[in-house]
Amino acid sequence: MNAMTDRLRALPSVDSLLREPIAADLLTAYGREATVNALRVTLDQWRDRLRAGEVLASGADAILNHATDSLRADFTPTLRPVINATGVIIHTNLGRAPLSQAAQRAIVEAGGQYSTLEFDLETGKRGSRLIHAERLLQQLTGAEAALVVNNNAAALVLLLSALALGREVVISRGQLVEIGGGFRVPEVMEQSGAKLVEVGTTNRTRLSDFERAITPQTALFMRAHASNFKQIGFVEQPDLADLARLAHDHNLAVVDDLGSGALLDTAPYGLEHEPTVQESLAAGVDLIAVSGDKLLGGPQSGLLLGKQALIDRLKRHPLARAVRADKLCLAALTATLEHYRRGEALTHIPIWQMIARPLESIRAQAESWQAQVGGAVIDGVSAVGGGSLPGETLPTALLALDLPAPDSVLARLRANHLPVIARIADDRLLFDPRTVLPGQEAELLRAIQAVIA
């Protein structure tokens, strides 16, 4: 018992620990309250472990080092940058589309200063936040009007609430989709107050199915683009232009949940053609809802584009304020749209840089990695991801490492101060250069060398 008492008494006090040089750094980095609390918790843990029979160093350095680790872990944010070496370009779990440098600068400028968010410089009076991206969206797509909200789910809820409350919305049974996070189109319609009318079958829906469903209570025809799954075989859906003509013949509107928000054709880069906003408008669609952070390559947002009269109704709806975009979103979106207007999307927007990157360039980078860390360069595929172009891939070159316990190695890479996210196939670690951003390569290789060592 005396030996135990002596070990407990040998532990330094909080005051004495605070006089150590290491503590000065902790006080500067984390503040007095957090540092003192960490030291007290560490000392309590030390006492409990000593009483449990553990052999522990009772000096100040050991206790301060443990407290430092605790503080570092506690102050590390849960939302952190990572290195995406998976080859999934629009990786939903990793934040979807990374922003261009211009969009990043726009966020810093809008967030760090006062801005003209709702101020008209010409009149000196209150202005509207709704104007900031609308003109660019009109120019780029040919839409009569546009409205930006905080995401595409909000865009759908708003348009259905404003245009179809208590009335019928006709949609193909094969388009009652569920996207990430359990977000289901039928449930969205229910929440909005619209009445769902399913037509056709899971695999085949014809124009005549829509025509037979029309009643005095019908408000809209709706198409939900299959952006996260693919139907093959004995399938059929009515042509969008034909659907629009039928709707207009009966004084109905047709809305298109286009989802991925492509403004450029994906086919020239070896991918299946993804329907674009411009094509949908040209087909006669009255209102389109798309995401800003998928194939558009901008911040999380929902874009509503189409007829002026319909957009005006959405702008006046009470729900519009609840789902409006904030200044940081509008700043980043406007900067992203400027890349399209200047014809520089392929060279400035990260996801389009990745999509358009030549295989030879990717292979050369993989071979450079191999020269520094070993392994082998093998053929593989990258995926677009993010609920866009389901099943479509791009050829790539991968660095493959054969290391013992690859799952454990992945865990250690994720524990890096800039976490590295990679994948395993056939018990090999795979790293795809396509999705590693410029400026991250050196840290990626350092992390790999550390786990190999």
**Do residues 324 and 100 make contact, with C-beta atoms less than 8 angstroms apart?**
no
Question: Residue 9: which pLDDT band, with cuts at 50, 70 and 90?
Answer: confident
> How many Å separate Cα 258 from the centre of its chain?
17
Question: Residue 228: which pLDDT band, with cuts at 50, 70 and 90?
Answer: low
Which domain, by its residues, includes 384? Answer: 83-92+351-452
Mean pLDDT of the chain: 92
Q: Which whole number is the average pLDDT over 63-79?
A: 93
Picking from 313, 344, 375, the residue at the C-terminal end of a domain is 344
pLDDT at 30: 95
Q: In the chain, what percentage of residues exceed pLDDT 90? A: 79
Whether 268 and 396 map to the same domain: the answer is: no
Q: Is the pLDDT of residue 1 over 60?
A: no
How far apart (Å, rounded) are the C-alpha atoms in residues 391 and 403?
Answer: 29
Q: In the chain, what percentage of residues exceed pLDDT 70? A: 97
> For position 167, which CATH number holds?
3.40.640.10
3-class secondary structure for 31-80? CHHHHHHHHHHHHHHHHHHHHCCCCCCCCHHHHHHHHHHHHHHHHCCCCC
The tally of domains found in the chain comes to: 3
Whether 295 and 366 map to the same domain: the answer is: no
Whether 325 and 398 map to the same domain: the answer is: no
Start-to-end C-alpha separation, the chain: 45
Question: Residue 5: which pLDDT band, with cuts at 50, 70 and 90?
Answer: confident
Picking from 317, 344, 371, the residue at the C-terminal end of a domain is 344
pLDDT at 420: 98
Whether 306 and 385 map to the same domain: the answer is: no
Element (H, E) at 424: strand 423-425
Tokens, residue 57: 């160093």
> For position 355, which CATH number holds?
3.90.1150.180
pLDDT tens, position by position, 317-367: 999 999 999 999 999 999 999 999 999 999 999 999 999 999 999 999 999
Residues in the chain, total: 453
Q: What are phi and psi of 419, to 5 degrees?
A: -55, 140
Q: Is the pLDDT of residue 193 over 90?
A: no
Q: What are phi and psi of 304, to 5 degrees?
A: -110, 125
How far apart (Å, rounded) are the C-alpha atoms in residues 233 and 226?
Answer: 15
Whether 151 and 277 map to the same domain: the answer is: yes
pLDDT at 211: 93
pLDDT at 145: 97
Q: Is the pLDDT of residue 384 over 80?
A: yes
Q: Is the pLDDT of residue 389 over 90?
A: no
Higher pLDDT: 177 or 120? It is: 120
**Within the chain, how many helices (H) and strands (E) appear?**
20, 17
Question: Residue 448: which pLDDT band, with cuts at 50, 70 and 90?
Answer: very high
Convert 222-245 to b/e letters by CB count within 10 Å (16 or more is b). Answer: bbbbbbbeeeeeeeebbebeebbe
Q: Which whole number is the average pLDDT over 253-281?
A: 93
pLDDT at 232: 72
pLDDT at 94: 96
Q: What is the DSSP letter of 221?
A: E
Q: Is the pLDDT of residue 35 over 70?
A: yes
Q: Which whole number is the average pLDDT over 298-324?
A: 96
How far apart (Å, rounded) are the C-alpha atoms in residues 94 and 104?
Answer: 17
pLDDT at 227: 61
pLDDT at 115: 95
Q: Which whole number is the average pLDDT over 4-18?
A: 86
Q: Which whole number is the average pLDDT over 206-226?
A: 92
Whether 322 and 384 map to the same domain: the answer is: no
Whether 380 and 444 map to the same domain: the answer is: yes
Picking from 344, 370, 405, the residue at the C-terminal end of a domain is 344
pLDDT at 70: 94
Residues in contact with 414: Cβ distance below 8 Å, sequence separation at least 6, in sequence order: 420, 421
Q: Is the pLDDT of residue 233 over 70?
A: no
Whether 311 and 365 map to the same domain: the answer is: no
Whether 139 and 264 map to the same domain: the answer is: yes
Whether 195 and 325 map to the same domain: the answer is: yes
How far apart (Å, rounded) are the C-alpha atoms in residues 194 and 219?
Answer: 9
Q: What are phi and psi of 18, to 5 degrees?
A: -70, -15
Whether 47 and 178 map to the same domain: the answer is: no
Q: Which whole number is the average pLDDT over 422-448?
A: 96
pLDDT at 229: 63
Whether 51 and 131 map to the same domain: the answer is: no
Q: Give 268-272 contacts, CB < 8 A, sequence gap 24+.
A: 269/355, 269/356, 269/394, 270/394, 270/395, 271/355, 271/384, 271/389, 271/392, 271/394, 272/389, 272/392
